[in-house]
Structure 1
Amino acid sequence: MDKLVIPFTTRAEFQQHLASCLSRAEHTLQMFDPDYTIWELGSSATDAQLRRFLQGGGRLQLVAHDGRHVERDAPRFLRLLKDYSHLVEVRRTNAQLRQLTDSFCIADQRDIVRRFHADHFRGEAVFNGPAELQTSLERFLTIWIESGAGLYANSTGI
């Protein structure tokens, strides 16, 4: 399959491309969003996709500024974190990173769905474009290294 770049501007398009990205993931999912408010992490469809991915041995890395939305509104996702704690790592950004406002999901270092600003839906999905993901992969690694542990007791801590 050739590289596919698809711009989007609506919530529905974002959700559609994110679902495609999740369904294509086999080995790694690397996600960053300020608070995951519009990601629908608690939906049954997303739960099913993430469980399939994790049952296959995939590893999920998730970073956020704030986890209150997830803790309050995504009980399915919190159960998933508990069920697959050995394959999921959640981190929370430190104060120096709180100005970051983009949002993205990278699957297998090959596919990405990114919004240029978390307050807007404008973004792009890139499938089978590993060369186009290099900057985003480096950005995620930097965010990851600069963030702290996010799992505390019974809450996500993100």
Structure 2
Amino acid sequence: MDKQTRAFSTRLEFEQLLQLCLSRARLQLRMFDPDFALWQLGSSATDAILRPFLSGGGTLQLVAHSNARLERDAPRFLRLLKDYGHAIECRLTHKNLRQLTDSFCIGDGQDQVRRFHADHLRGEAVFGSPPDTQVCTERFIAIWQESSPGLHASTTGL
């Protein structure tokens, strides 16, 4: 696939591009957001994308400042975590990283959906371009290394 870039500024555009990014991934999804409030990780549509991805050997890594929204608002995601806990890892940032306010999803190191600030919907999606995902991939790795284990199926009472 040739490189495709799309700017977005509405919730609907963000949701559609994020679903596209999730559905294109085969091996790895890396996600960072302060709380994943707008990501609809507990929706039936997202569950329908992530279950085959995870059952096919894909891995999902999430980092957040807080998992409270996922625990409260995403019961399907919690079931997914219970069913595929071996393939999903959720981590929490330390206080020194709480100033980070962007939000992004990287699929297989070639697709990316990024909101420039988590409080706003303006952002950009890039598909089919590993060089364009490199900066966010490096940021994700650094954030991941500076975070601690977070949400687990066993700690949510599942």
2:106 corresponding residue in structure 1: 106
Aligned length: 156
Q: How does 1:48-87 map to 2 (within 5 A)?
A: 48-87=48-87
Tell me the distance in 2 between the aligned counterparts of 1:107 and 1:136: 11
2:94 corresponding residue in structure 1: 94
Q: 1:5-53 deviations in whole A, cap 9, x for unaligned?
A: 1000000000000000000000000000000001001100001101011
1:119 corresponding residue in structure 2: 119
Tell me the distance in 1 between the aligned counterparts of 2:6 and 2:96: 32
Unaligned runs of 5+ in 1: none
1:4 corresponding residue in structure 2: 4
1:154 corresponding residue in structure 2: 155
Tell me the distance in 1 between the aligned counterparts of 2:87 and 2:79: 13
Moved segments of 4+, more than 4 Å: none
Deviation at 1:145, TM superposition (A): 0.2
Tell me the distance in 1 between the aligned counterparts of 2:146 and 2:156: 21
Tell me the distance in 2 between the aligned counterparts of 1:129 and 1:155: 37
Deviation at 1:98, TM superposition (A): 0.4
Deviation at 1:155, TM superposition (A): 2.3
Tell me the distance in 2 between the aligned counterparts of 1:78 and 1:151: 9
Name the Cα RMSD after superposition: 1.1
TM-score by length of 2: 0.96
Deviation at 1:151, TM superposition (A): 3.2
Query: Percent identity between the aligned chains?
Result: 63
Tell me the distance in 2 between the aligned counterparts of 1:21 and 1:134: 16
Tell me the distance in 2 between the aligned counterparts of 1:68 and 1:21: 24
Q: 1:77-134 deviations in whole A, cap 9, x for unaligned?
A: 0000010000011100000000000000000000000000000000000000100111
**What SS does the corresponding residue of 1:61 show, helix, strand or coil?**
strand
**What SS does the corresponding residue of 2:155 show, helix, strand or coil?**
coil
Deviation at 1:154, TM superposition (A): 2.7
